Every structure is written in structure tokens, then in C-alpha cells.
Structure 1
Amino acid sequence: MENAVRLLSTLALKGAVVRLSGDYQAATGTRIDADFAPTIGLLKRLRGGETADLVILTQEGLQQLVAEAAVVAATKVDLARSYVGIAVKAGRPHPDIATTAGLRATLLATRSVAYSQIGASGIFFASLIERLGIASEVNARAVITPSGFTAERLITGEADLAVQQISELMQVEGIDVVGPIPLELQTAAIFSAGRMAASKRAEQADRLLQYLASPELIPVLRDTGLEP
């Protein structure tokens, strides 16, 4: 049997996992067989019968699996936090998003905003524009993506602004991250990991989990837009 750990992870951790996977395999002989999607999509797949050894989800999503006894509670660990940010195509002027008033005016003035349909950032942004009283205006010109990286819509020219977790925006080449949405408007998303109860590679999964939560990963997290 191939020495591999099957990992299902939220898109927010893709940059970090991809960056570390080669070194991890060289050091341990274990390959990380990873697949990435929004937490809601991963929960649906797991509940539909898909198997994995390890999962990285939003803290809330992982807790659901712990409550269902699908994830071993004792293995649950918080890995990183992330904020929702805004990006533009590389070289374009950076709009004012530093204050609530500036963000509101920017969203009303822009041609089109790309945000996700089912990801944590998309759910947050849909709620935010409702709170700001501009949902109908923004959504009339929005590009709502079912999955994947919203910043890709900047490259294709479909949108002028992209909204997503900063770590997810940073996965797309040819864009500039303007910065986070004002922190007073949002709460950091916490991403947590745990071993699936049905895993047949518990030892390998626990070793990878320990590595992901180790201090040596802190620079990788920060380089990919996350905080430990």
C-alpha cells in the first residue's frame, strides 16, 4: 500500500499545504494526497461517503464532525486564523477600503465584485453588504462564484474587485491584495484540523497533524496570508 495520507482541506490552507508537502514527504516518506474545497462542500462530500484520513475545515465545520463522532475529538487542533480581504488585478489602483465608509463607497462605485457562493468568506460578505445596506446594488453587478478562487475573475476581466480569505486571494498570480476588510466589521475565521475516526492510517495522520500544528510551520502560515 502506498504510504500516503488523504487530506481534505479548506481552500484557505491550500498555499501552506502545497508549500510544505514536498519537504514533508522527503523527511517522512509519507505523501500528502490533498484535495481542496470550501468547508461546506467538504462536509457534504464526507457525509456522502467520501473518505479521508485528516481534514482541515473551519472551526465550526470541524466541530460538527466531532459532534457526529466522525472526527476523533482528542485530535482536534486549531491551526490558523484568516481575515477576509479584497484584491485587484496587478497594477490597478488600490481602492479605499481602510474604513467602513471608504469600503462602502468603493463597493458602490466598482463595476463588479467577485465573491464566493458557499465559502466562509462569501457567506460573510453577503451578510456584510446587507448590513451596509448595499446588497441589491452590489449583487446586481456581482460575479458570484460557486467554488474556487474569486481572484481568478480579476484575471479574466469579469470583475474589478475580488473578495475572499486573504490566504485564498494570494493563491492567484497576477493580482494585488489591497488588504483586509476593516477588522471592526469582521471576525477572524479559525481553521482547525482533526483525524477522521474511520482512518486506517491513524499513525501517519497523527504525525502529519502534529507537524501542521508545530511552531516550524508559523513562517509558512504567515507567508501564505494566515496567522498561527
Structure 2
Amino acid sequence: MVKSSMIRRFAILALLAGLSTATAGAAELTVTSAVGFRPALQELAQAFEKSSGHKLKIEYATAGKVDEKVRGEDTIDVAIVTKSLFDKQVREAKMVGGTTTQLARQQNGLAVKKGAAKPGGAASIFVAQQFEKLGITGEIKPKLKLLKAAAGQAIPPVADAVQRGEAEIGILPLSLAMQVQGIDVVGPLPAEFQSPDLAFVAGTPWTCERPIEAKALIDFLAGPAAKAVYKAKGMEPG
């Protein structure tokens, strides 16, 4: 009887030790991401948490604000921002060299109000027609309206303007346009109209407190499952 009781006691202790080890292995990672990457990261974050046991504390901001946070020495485990800013951060030793990985390229595209007639043919032909119609030289400038997102704004301002009929055509990132009701996506702009600066890169700032777990997240975001999500969200992997 005594022997049986001791065996049960040791079994319980072993179980508690195992639970303690599992709990200790789980981490909370602080992630700061450019808002343009949000549609993909929202989906991938859930998959990473489920597969790894780690938790992600994510803050979204404009690429410029992410850059400010990295430079402001906030405690960040993983930062996701545009490549041009990342390259500068690496040169200035704000990002740990060798930790950066390019994840996906954002694509700008055309959107119209939901139900409006969509142009036929390739998007490249439509863009050329529209620029010709507007007058690609001096006449185009007065007809363009550049909009800037306000802090915490849920709907991209370009999409909002198209929704409300203030603009017939909107040019904005496809990954954001695909999330907005009330507009229809016509398609991506041709390659010559895409910005090379809209590539998203993930890396570890020098303030990172959990480099091993941070690397696991970055590897996950660069993996094959993530690439399928990027394509579904209107981005080009890599």
C-alpha cells in the first residue's frame, strides 16, 4: 500500500514537472507591424500561436511609426516594415544583422465603387487608357487626390473615398482593398506602376528579449504555408 502511494505521488510530481516545463517554454512575443501587412499577419498569427504555443502581442502602425518605435528603443521582438526602412535600420545598427527576411511584396491595384462598371481587358490597358484620358502630362495632377490614413482609421482613406463616390477610381494596396466591403477590386497595376519599396521585411530589433522565439516566428512567416496566405491576400511571396 505504501509502495503504491509513493508511485502515485511520484507520478503526480512528474506530471506537474512536465506542465511546468511546457509553461516555461511558452513565450509572449511583442510584434510591431506595418498596417499594410495586417490582413496576412492576422491569419498567420493564429496559426503560429496554435502550432508553437507562443502568444503574439501585435501592434499595427504606419511604416513610418514602426520605424520610430524601433529607433525609440521600444522593447520589440519582431518588427515588420518596408524594405527601404529596414535597410536603413540595419545600416544604423537598430536591427540585428542576419535576422531580416523579406516576406512578401505588396501590390497596388485599382478599385471602383461596388456595382460600378468594371473595365474590360487587362488592368495595364485600363491604366494606360485612364492616364491618357486624364492627361498624363500637366493635366493629371489636379485630378489626383492623395489621401493619408489617420491614426486608428479602420478603412483605408482611398477605399473610403471610393465607397462614398468621392473618387471614381482608387489606387491602393490590394491586400487592404480586398478586406473592404463597398468596393470592387479591378486588378493589380502593371509591374511598371508598382513600387519597389512595398516589400515587407521581418527582423529582430536589438531590443529583442526573446531571439530564439523571434527567429521561430520569422521562419514561420517565410514558410510555405505563409506564402499561400500572401497570395490569397493579394501579395507576392518573397
TM-score bracket, normalised by the shorter chain, equals: 0.7 to 0.9
Task: Return the match for 1:190 from 166, 187, 199.
Answer: 199
Alpha-carbon distance between aligned partners in 2 of 1:215 and 1:103, rounded to the nearest angstrom:
37
Q: Is the 8 Å Cα contact of residues 143 and 159 (structure 1) preserved in structure 2?
A: no
Partner of 1:47: 71
- Letter paired with 1:168: L
Matches of residues 1-228 of structure 1 in structure 2 within 5 Å?
Answer: 3-95=27-119, 97-99=123-125, 100-105=127-132, 108=134, 132-139=137-144, 142=145, 144-147=147-150, 149=156, 150-188=158-196, 189-228=198-237
Query: What secondary structure does 2:104 align onto?
Result: strand
State the shift of 1:132 in Å. 4.7
State the shift of 1:49 in Å. 4.1
Q: How big is each residue's C-alpha offset from its partner over 1:76-101, in whole Å with a ceiling of 9 and x where there is no partner? A: 11111122111112211124753353
- Letter paired with 1:206: K
Alpha-carbon distance between aligned partners in 1 of 2:104 and 2:232, rounded to the nearest angstrom:
12
Q: How big is each residue's C-alpha offset from its partner over 1:109-148, in whole Å with a ceiling of 9 and x where there is no partner? A: xxxxxxxxxxxxxxxxxxxx9x754443224xx2512345
Query: What secondary structure does 1:73 align onto?
Result: coil
Q: Any unmatched runs of 5+ in structure 2?
A: 1-23
State the shift of 1:105 in Å. 4.3
Query: What secondary structure does 1:218 align onto?
Result: helix
Larger Rg: 2
Alpha-carbon distance between aligned partners in 1 of 2:113 and 2:222, rounded to the nearest angstrom:
33
Range with bigger deviation, 34-43 or 52-61: 34-43
TM-score between the two structures when normalised by the length of structure 1:
0.78
Q: Is the 8 Å Cα contact of residues 11 and 168 (structure 1) preserved in structure 2?
A: no
Describe the shift of the 1:10–1:182 C-alpha distance in structure 2 as closer, same or farther (beyond 3 A). same
Q: How big is each residue's C-alpha offset from its partner over 1:143-188, in whole Å with a ceiling of 9 and x where there is no partner? A: 5123452313333444332222211222222321111223233344
Q: Is the 8 Å Cα contact of residues 113 and 183 (structure 2) preserved in structure 1?
A: yes
Q: Any unmatched runs of 5+ in structure 1?
A: 109-128
Describe the shift of the 1:154–1:73 C-alpha distance in structure 2 as closer, same or farther (beyond 3 A). same
Alpha-carbon distance between aligned partners in 2 of 1:51 and 1:134, rounded to the nearest angstrom:
48
State the shift of 1:54 in Å. 0.6
Query: What secondary structure does 2:105 align onto?
Result: strand
Aligned residues: 204
Describe the shift of the 1:159–1:33 C-alpha distance in structure 2 as closer, same or farther (beyond 3 A). farther
Alpha-carbon distance between aligned partners in 1 of 2:137 and 2:57, rounded to the nearest angstrom:
41
Q: Is the 8 Å Cα contact of residues 71 and 94 (structure 2) preserved in structure 1?
A: no
Alpha-carbon distance between aligned partners in 1 of 2:165 and 2:201, rounded to the nearest angstrom:
34
TM-score between the two structures when normalised by the length of structure 2:
0.75
User: RMSD in angstroms over aligned alpha carbons?
Assistant: 2.5
